[in-house]
Amino acid sequence: MPVALVTGITGQDGSYLAEMLLEKGYDVVGMVRRSSTITFDRIEQIQDKITIVQGDLHDQSSLVNVFEEYKPDEVYNLAAQSFVPTSWNQPVLTGEVTALGVTRMLDAMRLVRPKARFYQASSSEMFGKVQEVPQSESTPLYPRSPYGVAKVYGHWITINYRESYDMFAVSGILFNHESPRRGLEFVTRKITNGVARIKLGLDTEIGLGNLDSRRDWGYAKDYVEAMWLMLQKDSPDDYVIGTGETHEVREFCEIAFSYADLDYKEFVKKDERFFRPAEVDLLVSDPSKAKQELGWEIKVGFKELVEMMVQADLDKIKQKLGQ
């Protein structure tokens, strides 16, 4: 059985990717960082089917050890400090993990498993102040946060290792993707969790920042399929992955609240704390290369995604309340 190493397996994407790889017959090795409490909520259901190993993107020898012990055939580097606002508060840590962490992974692979295939989780945040609409693989990059800057480094070091050492290393430029497993601080889950709490009488409002910004939002489960497809190609290349549609945060609110028979205008309050020092106003992908060369398509559209997330939060909270 092929062995897949997944960093960031405890995160949203890592959990969906691990489930998909298991279905395809891989031995899945998930790298987790040491923590004083276990953070395995998203992988509880597959914990007995995967191998968990400790390692940290800060620590080179831990990565080399993982490569030596498990000899992966495919490596998915999903681990990162992935929350954009935190990157202004912790810019150095974000650079260490989200930027230099990629080099540490690539270098461990170069030394121990140079023939393995490497996927880097790059981001549409790299387009930032967009230089072109829609954004494709050839759109110039203009990041607007320390996170975006770190991802640009990760993107280019992946290409550089491919070109310098002839390694099979690809960069997937993924636009925002969401799910019921999304972290609670990201705007989509903050809204759907807030709607559920308001509907069930636990809260009376949600404080949000910029409602005008536009994102290209897809379903995370569709996006992990694209990661795998990129590593099955004959030769390595980089791909933009997104829906090709863009929606305002306001529109996300409208659909989420109306699914629960509520009017968002009554419950969403402006909160200055959630505005950013530099905003990414508009993201919209041109995923035509991925469609043509990978045969990749989305299965879940925007409205379905929003409603799925609200329903999942309603179910989760009702279960906690014993309803």
Q: Which residues are catalytic?
A: 123, 125, 147
Select from 54-62, 204-212, 258-266, 269-277 the region that touches ligand NAP (CB under 6 A): 54-62
Q: How far apart are CB 12 and ligand G4F at their closest, in Å?
A: 8
Q: What's the CA gap between 170 and 158, in Å, rounded?
A: 7
**210 interface partner picked from ligand NAP, ligand G4F, none, CB below 5 to 8 A per type:** ligand G4F
Contacts of 285 (CB under 8 A, 6+ apart): 124, 134, 135, 136, 175, 216, 240, 241, 242, 243, 244
Strands (E), 175-317: 177-178, 206-208, 214-215, 218-219, 239-241, 247-248, 268-270
11 binds ligand NAP (CB under 6 A): yes
Q: What's the CA gap between 271 and 315, in Å, rounded?
A: 28
Structure token digits, residue 63 = 């990565």
35 binds ligand NAP (CB under 6 A): yes
Contacts of 211 (CB under 8 A, 6+ apart): 248, 249, 250, 253, 268
Select from 76-84, 110-118, 264-272, 308-316 the region that touches ligand NAP (CB under 6 A): 76-84
Q: Which is nearer to ligand NAP, 98 or 259 (CB)?
A: 98
The size of the chain, in residues, is 323
Q: Beta strands 117-123 and 74-77: pairing type?
A: parallel
Within positions 116 to 145, which residues make up the interface with ligand G4F, using CB under 6 A? Answer: 123-125
**39 interface partner picked from ligand NAP, ligand G4F, none, CB below 5 to 8 A per type:** ligand NAP
Q: How far apart are CB 111 and ligand G4F at their closest, in Å?
A: 28
Tell me the C-alpha to C-alpha distance, in Å, between residue 196 and each of 181, 209, 315: 15, 19, 9
Tell me the C-alpha to C-alpha distance, in Å, between residue 303 and each of 120, 205, 247, 265, 282: 29, 22, 10, 19, 19
Helices (H) and strands (E) in the chain, counts: 12, 13
Q: How far apart are CB 284 and ligand G4F at their closest, in Å?
A: 11
Helix/strand/coil for 80: coil
**195 interface partner picked from ligand NAP, ligand G4F, none, CB below 5 to 8 A per type:** none
79 binds ligand NAP (CB under 6 A): yes
Over the window 32 to 61, marking each residue x when it contacts ligand G4F by CB under 6 A and - when it does not, the resulting string is ------------------------------
Do 266 and 205 touch, CB atoms closer than 8 A?
Answer: no
Cis peptide bond upstream of 134, omega within 30: yes
Cβ-in-10-Å burial (0-12, 13-18, 19+) of 254 comes to middle
57 binds ligand NAP (CB under 6 A): yes
Among 5, 43, 81, 240, binds ligand NAP (CB under 6 A): 81
Residue type present at position 200: L
Q: Which is nearer to ligand NAP, 81 or 135 (CB)?
A: 81
Q: Which is nearer to ligand NAP, 104 or 199 (CB)?
A: 104
Total Cβ atoms within 10 A of residue 281: 12
Within positions 190 to 249, which residues make up the interface with ligand G4F, using CB under 6 A? Answer: 190, 208-210, 213, 215, 249
Select from 28-36, 39-47, 161-169, 271-279 the region that touches ligand G4F (CB under 6 A): 271-279
Select from 106-114, 174-182, 190-198, 201-209 the region that touches ligand NAP (CB under 6 A): 174-182
Binding-site ranges for ligand G4F (CB under 6 A): 82, 84, 123-125, 175-176, 185-188, 190, 208-210, 213, 215, 249, 274, 276, 279-280, 283
List contacts with ligand NAP (CB under 6 A).
7-8, 10-14, 33, 35, 39, 56-58, 78-82, 97, 121, 123, 174, 176-177, 183
